[in-house]
Amino acid sequence: MYLFLGNLAILDTCISSISVSHLSFDILSGNILILHSTCLVQVFFFSWFAYTEFYLLAVMSYDRYVAICLPLHYTTKISIQLCVQLAFTSWVIGFVCSSMHSLCTLRLVFFNPTTIPGFFCELYQLIELSCSDTYLNYLLIFVVGVPFALIAFSITFFSYFYILKTILRIKIKNGRHKAFSTCSSHLTVVFLFYVTTFFNYVQPKTDNFLVGQLVSVFYTFFTPLLNPVIYSLRNSELKGAHSLRLVNLLIFHSTQCIICPLFLLIFSVSSDL
């Protein structure tokens, strides 16, 4: 489980760093331009880490399923070698899916200059802004992107379906509470990830620029920031260390991660007015 948590922490750091680093540089330098090649690199890495997180959360759900539903077989079914293989496979799947989307995006033609309505480059934005034929790009999303995401979601959904079914069968109250606390942190992270993903990509796009970008900020910056905090709440040693100093540090880092995109958002709105 700790191997998966380490990979998730790396993913959260990478996802935030892709957009925050370039955004911070733009704010400090006053530069609002981004090269086409830089935008493609940003799309590639963001898609890679997003796909990887889909499957890593699914793998972690299966790990929790075995731990709660088959506790006596956990050590035989979930070995270190299997954990390494599952984590590595998640990264490979994300890399392959992202590579296909990125290679297909290379053929797109854009007007020069083109305004990107957001803080960083995303795949769907480039496709919508292209002035060339995007049929192949949309086909690749529905043939590759959607099925792969649904497979990961199905693994996560059915794992927690059987987990909840097993927990409800436990007659001892303390045993039920202990079993639920084992997966509560991961279930919270999964809920945040899928809810923010839905509001950012699945729901109909809003015409309100401010609302749309706030959703994007929450999905890109706030959710990765909350994940380590959520998992640390179950650790008894960290609970004892949650003093005022730690709270101040969390507030400081939260401000650093949120202030840059919010500052740019306010600046963009005021410029339009």
Residue 138, pLDDT score: 83
Check if the beta carbon of residue 94 is closer than 8 Å to that of residue 49.
yes
Question: Taking the CA of residue 156 as centre, how many other CA atoms within 13 Å lie in the half-sphere pointing to its CB?
Answer: 22
DSSP 207-240: S-HHHHHHHHHIIIIIHHHHHHHHHHTT-HHHHH
What CA–CA distance (Å, rounded) separates 216 from 213? 5
Query: For tokens 């309505």, what's the residue?
Result: 117
Helix 2-29, helix 80-105: angle, nearest 10:
30
* Cβ atoms of 86 and 59 closer than 8 Å: yes
Burial per residue of 80-93, b for 16 or more beta-carbon CB atoms within 10 angstroms, e otherwise: eeebeebbeebbeb
pLDDT by 10s per residue, the chain, length 273: 678 888 888 888 888 777 776 666 666 666 666 667 777 888 888 889 888 998 999 999 999 899 888 888 888 888 889 989 999 999 999 999 888 888 888 887 777 666 665 666 777 777 777 777 778 888 888 888 888 888 998 999 999 999 888 888 888 777 777 777 777 788 888 888 888 777 766 655 555 555 666 666 777 777 777 777 777 766 555 555 554 455 555 555 555 554 555 554 454 544 445
Q: Kindly indicate whether the domain formed by 2-272 is annotated with CATH number 3.30.830.10.
A: no
3-class secondary-structure state, position 267: helix
Count of CB atoms within 10 A of residue 196's CB?
Answer: 17
* Token couple for 58: 């699914």
What is residue 90's predicted lDDT score, i.e. its pLDDT? 92
Q: Where are the domains of the chain?
A: 2-272
Alpha-helical regions (H) of the chain? 2-29, 36-69, 74-77, 80-105, 123-129, 135-140, 146-169, 173-197, 209-217, 223-232, 236-240, 244-272
| Residue 259, C-beta contacts closer than 8 angstroms, at least 6 positions apart | none
What torsion, rounded to 10 degrees, do the Cα atoms 183, 189, 192, 195 define? Answer: -70
Q: Helices 146-169 & 173-197, crossing angle to 10 degrees?
A: 160
